[in-house]
Amino acid sequence: MNNRLAHLLVRLYPRSWRERYGAEFEALLHTGRGGLRTSANVAWSALHEHVFPTPGLKIEQSQFRSWCVRAPWAMFGLAPLFLLAGAYFVACFILWSGWEIFLPGTNTPFVPIDGLANFYFQVGRLIYFSAPILIGWAIGLVAGRQRLKALWPAVGWILIALIGGTAQVHASRTAVLSGIGHIRMGFALGPSVHGIPDGLFHALVILSLTVLPYLIWRLQKTHFVSS
């Protein structure tokens, strides 16, 4: 394999791994076959090493880890909230701008629509619905990667799930005097289905989806250590 490419691929691994295995691994890559398949295999293995670090290798004492340990409330409480707020802002902006561009005469943007307009609104929907799950996965990834206890990540998961499950978007052309269209977000548990409020049910679904990959990782780790 090309020397430069081998060096670049080794750089994909975490620093602690590179410090121990980098030189010999680069030598192996240099003498071995190149090709797309090899590069993909190395890139995938590097990603795996980031997500599931080799047990026993010294974890990097980065500034990021230091933040995770010193201020877990900020990393797992505030940061996910800001991220979610940002994602909701973008989704609402897409909804509002799409309403102004494609549906200037309607009282609400929530009407059946086709073509490019539909695609535009679907991008906003995708951001709106996937944001809590993606942020939840990110919390699990950071917690797993930094090998932290599950308490603060659990706080983050519950917060995100509750917000994601109970969030509602309201749109009205007549709510403000200018009539340019008004989008606002509110939080409500909603009507009950089989005794469980709708919002709480959605929150439980989001919580399950976000916690599941972390639990699988924990089980896999426990199995690996005990075998």
Partner 1 sequence: MIEDIASICGTRLGPGTLYGAIARLEQQGWIEPLPPKERRRPYRITAEGARVLRAKLTTLRQFTKAGLQRLESL
Interacting residues toward partner 1 by CB under 8 A: 17, 20-21, 23-29, 31-32, 37-38, 41-46, 48-49, 54-57
Cβ distance to partner 1 smaller for residue 44 or 89: 44
170 φ/ψ angles, rounded to the nearest 5 degrees: -120, 140
Cβ distance to partner 1 smaller for residue 42 or 68: 42
Residue-wise DSSP of 40-107: HHHHHHHHHHHHSPPTTSPPP--HHHHHHHH-HHIIIIIHHHHHHHHHHHHHHHHHHHHHHHH-TT-S
Nearest distance, CB of residue 216 and partner 1, angstroms: 18
Cβ distance to partner 1 smaller for residue 27 or 196: 27
C-alpha of 180 from chain center? 33
Nearest distance, CB of residue 66 and partner 1, angstroms: 24
Cβ distance to partner 1 smaller for residue 25 or 214: 25
Nearest distance, CB of residue 221 and partner 1, angstroms: 12
Neighbours of 193 (CB within 10 A): 9
Nearest distance, CB of residue 34 and partner 1, angstroms: 10
Tokens of 86: 């940002």
